Amino acid sequence: MTTYTIPLFPNSLIYKAIRVDYEDTFAIDIPSKKVIHPEDLVPLFFDVFPSWFKVLMHLRETIAKMIGLKTAHGIDIQAQLDNFKGQKGESIALFHVFDRSEEEILMGETDKHLDFRLSFFSKMKEANLYQVSLATTVQYNGFLGKLYFFFVKPFHRLIVPIILKKIAKRLEK
């Protein structure tokens, strides 16, 4: 299966969530006889991280804590994953559910350096075929946000398609 980029959906929750300094949307088509809901995607997103990416995330947490940014330190992420229903107000690590619709769950975090939003979409394209997509928007809050995302962006653009392919393999039926 191949990932591809698409424009941000203009009527989506993420489209109007924050001022956008950066945006992308990666998608993949998944054949499935079972309905794929956006709340099915969120736990899989966290579960399919490659080990090298987990190392990078641990490094990010260490550096972020040293410079006073928000971290997921001390959060029982597994309990959050086990109990996740995709409802407004729920969280997984630093990803808070801000809103949801039938086809989208809008998550993200607001911090002093930047605000980010990540939407999980599942749309039926035709019988037994779903377009699953992850849309990201980032709003820089000053120079630190621009600097931070300068280093994060290449990894973000690399990891999101990898995660989508891993999600697709888990959901394909």
pLDDT of residue 38: 96
Residue of 166, 118, 164 lying closest to 138 (CA atoms):
118
List, in order, residues 6 or more apart from 60 with CB less than 8 Å away: none
Please report the pLDDT score of residue 57 as a whole number. 80
Structural domain harbouring 166:
3-171
For residue 117, what are the β-bridge partners?
108, 137
**Side-chain half-sphere CA neighbours of 12 within 13 A:** 25
Q: Round to whole Å and give the CA distance between 22 and 115.
A: 11
DSSP state of 88: T
Instruction: From first to last of the 173 residues of the chain, give the pLDDT tens digit.
Output: 899 999 999 999 999 888 899 999 999 999 999 999 999 999 999 899 888 888 888 888 887 787 777 777 777 778 887 888 999 999 888 789 999 999 999 999 999 999 999 999 999 999 999 999 999 999 999 999 999 999 999 999 999 999 999 999 999 86
Give CA–CA dist 139/110, Å, rounded. Answer: 9
Number of domains in the chain: 1
Tokens representing residue 3 in the block: 């990932």
CATH code of the domain in which 89 resides: 3.30.530
Strand segments (E) across the chain: 3-5, 22-31, 91-92, 95-100, 104-110, 114-126, 129-140
- How confident is the model at residue 173, as a pLDDT? 61
CB atoms within 10 A of CB 115: 19
Q: Which residues lie closer than 8 Å to 107 by C-beta, 6 or more apart?
A: 42, 92, 95, 96, 97, 98, 117, 118, 119, 120
